[in-house]
Homo-oligomer: A and B are copies of this chain.
Amino acid sequence: MDSANIVGYIASAVTVFTFLPQVIKTWKEKSAKNVSLLMFIIAIVNEVLWIAYGVMRDDMVIILTNIVMMCMASLMIYLKLRYKNA
């Protein structure tokens, strides 16, 4: 494994946790009033595109990172809609 790969895997490991604090906060507060739904919709669109890019570049770092991010963004959209009226 070259050094770029190592940095990539560390970046990936940090990136997959990006949406987690928001998911936990929303889950605890049962409210996502100030959270933008559009942010997570855009996130899903770009994650699909990055997965395609990763596949074309044969870059597993990009593929795996964006699969996890897509799951997190989907969960956040679910929570946002669930607590729509909160």
Please classify how large the interface on chain A is, using the bins under 10, 10 to 19, 20 to 34, 35 or more: 35 or more
Q: Tell whether, in the assembled complex, residue A49 and residue B18 are in contact, meaning their CB atoms are under 8 Å apart.
A: no
Report if A7 contacts B (CB, 8 A).
yes
If A34-B25, A34-B32, A34-B34 touch, whether A50 touches B11 (CB-CB below 8 Å) is yes
Residues of B within 8 A of A32 (CB): 34
Residues of B within 8 A of A46 (CB): 11, 14-15, 18
Residues of B within 8 A of A34 (CB): 25-26, 29, 31-35
Interfacial residues, chain A to chain B (CB-CB below 8 A)? 3-4, 7-8, 10-11, 14-15, 17-22, 24-26, 29, 31-39, 42-43, 45-46, 49-50, 52-53, 56-57, 61
